[in-house]
């Protein structure tokens, strides 16, 4: 078994990351990176771009490069870079056995040994992330946002005459070209298509962990029948129904199921799709048995692997090569109440918070603690806390539930703390955010008076966005507005993903001049578009109310005429006009006039010209939002 990562309470980060963040995760903190050394002279401008984008994390340098003939030349490129980078090194095309480009480079100690890797780096840099990677970093630099992944490649699977397997070019370069199976694929004629006519799942099929694992496994162990074995395995996974989730019960007969074999976790039941992705073709596969289903009864089952804590602890157990980690974690998760969006209440619920000084407004339920925190060796930095009386009766939302306000930044900071081996990276961030629990919600683009603000002139930043985006950045201390109460109506600029990217770029440059200049332009556009659109909507709403009032007036006068006619109170005169029509009473004429006013008011309030102008103004605002 592999021991848990070494994590200290505070201090400088470790020389190397505890683990490679991988090619699908954008690193959201500043750290040291390596590059491939440039050829002498540079082969082309394209090669230079490829080398700049092809970054190597400190973990990969320590694991794969240190002690090799190229260690000195790559080590000389070490530089600390700001957030927003991706490690491209630890992929099968580079570090895989047999056909790996790094092994080939090490067999040729001269500078030419890196030429093939440089060529791959230049080509790979043009593709960005796999379209199905959930790794949007929100950074302007680096170019790692989810793209289309380049071209698409397709291949026919066993028993299918159509191109059932679809792979984006990014995954084709990283994974397929590391095997002997590349010749079975061909470019898809309709590029960027997300779904073929054969009914197979949309998107890149190598996003399924089992398909990616089978690709490498059958290439290494399949011998002459490797492709047939892979095609059968891929078809098996693509044919599984999508997991319905942990909160939705489905008919047990609708899919295959697996149950954990060990008595301590015998209640763990997972659908076949989740079993394949989490444990299929791994040493843990034999720890699960096929579940028996009594078809005579209408059984409804849920998949426990869809609970994030259970899936995470299984992944940690695999990386540490110790199934006991999963057994202990899964037993605690199954014994704890399920973490839900509605929250958990009652005195029997155990919560965990930061150790030491009580951190109010940060609580993690027992299940998330067992699956998302304890497996990483951070139990000593947390303590149990219980509630009684009225406090226990109020349901609490676990801060590691996906619907919690700070779920994403907490997960990112936890990843950072585990990566660099410093718990303070997480705990200090949590304490700063927990203190904002009582702060008002971000006003976004709605000008709001009498609030606390940070930032610059025409670039106001509310406390919540400041804590999420600006704390601990290069420009945080130099902002001229620091926790100042502004009585005038101000809107927040930093809720916008575009402004957050511009702020990240400003931090990298060390200057906020361009950010402030754009924020000033953005504020002018806001005043000329969104505020005008809001005013027009208010006028429309007023006209709607006025028209509705005329409808009420018309009803009242119409009722008055009905009473007059019923009582025989009429005259020899007719009331009205050629446009209103003629009525036996004055009330009838007034009712007709009010009815016409109502129709005219509704028509004016719902004018398509006004709606079009509002849409145009909003479109102009979206261009800079």
Q: What is the pLDDT of residue 200?
A: 62
40 and 121 together in one domain: yes
In terms of domains, do 97 and 1 share one? yes
Residue 612 has a pLDDT of 84
Q: How far is CA 327 from CA 285, 316, 372, in A?
A: 14, 12, 14
pLDDT digits (tens, 9 = 90+) for 602-619: 888 788 877 888 888 888
Could you please report the per-residue DSSP string of 92-119? HHHHSTTT-HHHHHHHS-SGGGGHHHHH
With beta carbons less than 8 A apart as the criterion, state whether 292 and 259 touch: no
Q: CB within 8 A of 243, min separation 6: which ones?
A: 271, 273, 274, 303, 305, 306
In a domain, 440, yes or no: no
Are residues 391 and 362 located together in one domain of the fold?
Answer: yes
Are 130 and 86 in contact, with CB atoms under 8 Å apart?
A: no
Flag whether pLDDT at 361 surpasses 70. yes
The pLDDT value recorded for residue 225 is 63
Query: Could you read off the pLDDT of 495-518 as tens digits, one per residue?
Result: 988 899 899 889 888 899 999 999
With a cut of 70, say whether residue 355 has pLDDT above it.
Answer: yes
**140 and 170: one domain?**
no
Residue 479 has pLDDT above 80, yes or no: yes
Q: Which of 512, 528, 544 is the last residue of a domain?
A: 528
Domain count across the chain:
6
566 inside domain: yes
**Are 293 and 190 part of one and the same domain?**
no
What is the residue-averaged pLDDT of the chain?
86
Distance CA 165, CA 149 (A): 16
Provide the pLDDT for residue 65: 96
- What pLDDT digit, counting tens, does each position of 138-196 carry? 333 333 444 444 789 999 886 655 568 999 999 999 999 999 899 999 998 765 545 55
Give the structural domain span for 217: 152-238
Q: With bands split at pLDDT 50, 70 and 90, how would you rate the model's confidence at 83?
A: confident
In a domain, 210, yes or no: yes
pLDDT value of position 46: 46
State whether 385 and 498 are in the same domain. no
The string of pLDDT tens digits covering residues 29-77 is 999 999 998 876 555 544 444 444 789 999 999 999 999 999 999 999 9
pLDDT confidence of 438, banded at 50, 70, 90? low
Position 430 in a domain: yes
User: Domain boundary residue among 146, 170, 204?
Assistant: 146
CA distance linking residue 559 with residue 557, whole number of Å: 5
Q: Are residues 7 and 135 in the same domain?
A: yes
Which residue in this structure is represented by tokens 């970093």? 137
Look at residue 442 and tell me if it is in a domain. Answer: no
In a domain? residue 108? yes
Residue spans of alpha helices (H) in 394-529 = 407-420, 424-434, 463-465, 497-509, 513-528
Q: Are residues 124 and 34 in the same domain?
A: yes
Determine the average pLDDT of the residues in 286-306: 87
Is residue 205 a contact partner of residue 153, using CB atoms and an 8 Å limit? no
Question: Within 10 A of 540 (CB to CB), how many other CB atoms are there?
Answer: 17
Question: Looking at the domain assignment, is residue 439 inside a domain?
Answer: no
The Cβ-side half-sphere exposure at 170, using a 13 Å CA radius, reads 24
Are 124 and 191 contained in the same domain?
Answer: no
Confidence at 111, pLDDT banded by 50, 70, 90: low
Share of the chain above pLDDT 90, in %: 47
Same domain, 397 and 327: no
Regarding whether 41 and 140 lie in a shared domain, the answer is yes
Is the residue at 39 inside a domain?
yes
Under DSSP, is residue 499 helix (H, G, I), strand (E, B) or coil?
helix
At 300, which helix (H) or strand (E)?
strand 300-301
Strongest mean pLDDT among 114-123, 279-288, 462-471: 279-288
Confidence tier at 601 by pLDDT (50, 70, 90): confident
Condensed to tens digits (0 to 9), the pLDDT of residues 191-245 reads: 554 555 445 677 899 999 999 999 988 887 655 568 989 999 999 999 999 999 8
- How far is it, in rounded angstroms, from Cα 176 to Cα 174? 6
In the beta sheet, which residues pair with residue 453?
A: 484
DSSP code for 584: S
Same domain, residue pair 551 and 585: yes
Among residues 528, 545, 569, the one where a domain terminates is 528
Helical spans, DSSP H, in 292-338: 308-319, 323-335
Give, in order, the Cα–Cα distances in Å from 590 to each of 544, 547, 548, 572, 601. 20, 15, 16, 18, 16
Residue in 160, 170, 318, 181 with CA at minimum distance from that of residue 238: 160
Q: What is the mean pLDDT of residues 317-329?
A: 95
């Amino acid at each position: 078994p592999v021991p848990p990562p070494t994590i200290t309470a505070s201090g400088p980060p470790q020389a190397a990351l505890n683990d490679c963040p991988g090619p699908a995760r954008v690193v959201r903190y500043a750290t040291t990176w390596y590059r491939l050394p440039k050829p002498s002279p540079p082969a082309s401008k394209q090669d230079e771009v490829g080398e700049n984008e092809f970054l190597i994390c400190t973990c990969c340098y320590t694991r794969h490069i240190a002690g090799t003939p190229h260690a000195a030349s790559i080590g000389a490129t070490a530089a600390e870079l700001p957030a927003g980078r991706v490690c491209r090194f630890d992929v099968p095309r580079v570090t895989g056995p047999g056909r790996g480009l790094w092994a080939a480079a090490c067999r040729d100690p001269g500078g030419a040994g890196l030429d093939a890797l440089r060529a791959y780096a230049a080509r790979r840099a043009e593709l960005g992330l796999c379209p199905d990677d959930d790794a949007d970093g929100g950074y302007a630099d680096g170019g790692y946002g989810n793209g289309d992944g380049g071209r698409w490649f397709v291949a026919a699977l066993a028993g299918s005459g159509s191109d059932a397997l679809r792979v984006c070019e990014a995954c084709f370069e990283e994974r397929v070209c590391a095997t002997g199976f590349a010749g079975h694929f061909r470019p898809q004629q309709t590029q960027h298509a997300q779904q073929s006519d054969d009914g197979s799942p949309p998107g890149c099929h190598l996003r399924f962990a089992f398909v990616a694992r089978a690709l490498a496994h059958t290439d290494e162990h399949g011998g002459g029948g490797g492709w047939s074995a892979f095609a059968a395995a891929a078809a098996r996974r693509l044919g599984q129904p999508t997991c319905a989730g942990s909160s939705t019960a489905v008919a047990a007969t609708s899919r295959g199921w697996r149950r954990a074999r060990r008595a301590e976790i015998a209640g763990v039941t997972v659908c076949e799709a989740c079993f394949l992705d989490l444990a299929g073709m791994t040493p843990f596969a034999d720890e699960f048995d096929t579940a028996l289903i009594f078809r005579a009864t209408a059984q409804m089952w849920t998949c426990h692997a869809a609970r994030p804590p259970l899936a995470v602890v299984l992944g940690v157990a695999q990386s540490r090569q110790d199934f006991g980690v999963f057994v202990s974690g899964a037993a605690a998760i199954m014994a704890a109440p399920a973490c839900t969006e509605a929250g958990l209440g009652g005195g029997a619920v155990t919560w965990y918070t930061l150790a030491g000084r009580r951190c109010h407004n940060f609580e993690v339920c027992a299940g998330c603690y067992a699956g998302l925190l304890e497996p990483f060796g951070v139990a000593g930095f947390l303590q149990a806390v219980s509630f009684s009386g009225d406090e226990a009766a109020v349901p609490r939302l676990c801060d590691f539930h996906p619907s919690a306000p700070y779920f994403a930044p907490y997960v990112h900071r936890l990843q950072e703390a585990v990566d660099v081996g410093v718990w303070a990276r997480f705990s200090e961030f949590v304490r700063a955010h927990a203190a904002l629990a009582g702060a008002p919600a971000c006003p976004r683009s709605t000008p709001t008076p009498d609030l606390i603000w940070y930032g610059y002139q025409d670039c106001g930043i509310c406390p919540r966005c400041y804590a999420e985006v600006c704390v601990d950045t290069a420009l945080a201390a130099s902002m001229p507005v620091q926790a100042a109460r502004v009585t005038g109506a101000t809107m927040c600029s930093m809720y916008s993903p575009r402004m957050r990217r511009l702020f990240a770029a400003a931090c990298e440059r060390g200057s906020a001049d361009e950010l402030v200049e754009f924020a000033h332009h953005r504020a002018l556009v806001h005043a000329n578009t969104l505020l005008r659109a809001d005013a027009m909507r208010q006028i429309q709403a007023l006209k709607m109310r006025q028209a509705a009032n005329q409808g009420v007036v018309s009803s009242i006068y119409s009722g008055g005429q009905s009473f007059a006619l019923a009582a025989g109170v009429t005259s020899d005169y007719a009331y009205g006009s050629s446009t209103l029509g003629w009525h036996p009473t004055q009330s009838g004429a007034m009712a007709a006039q009010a009815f016409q006013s109502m129709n005219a008011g509704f028509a004016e309030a719902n004018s398509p010209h006004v709606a079009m102008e509002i849409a145009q103004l909003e479109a102009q605002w979206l261009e800079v939002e």
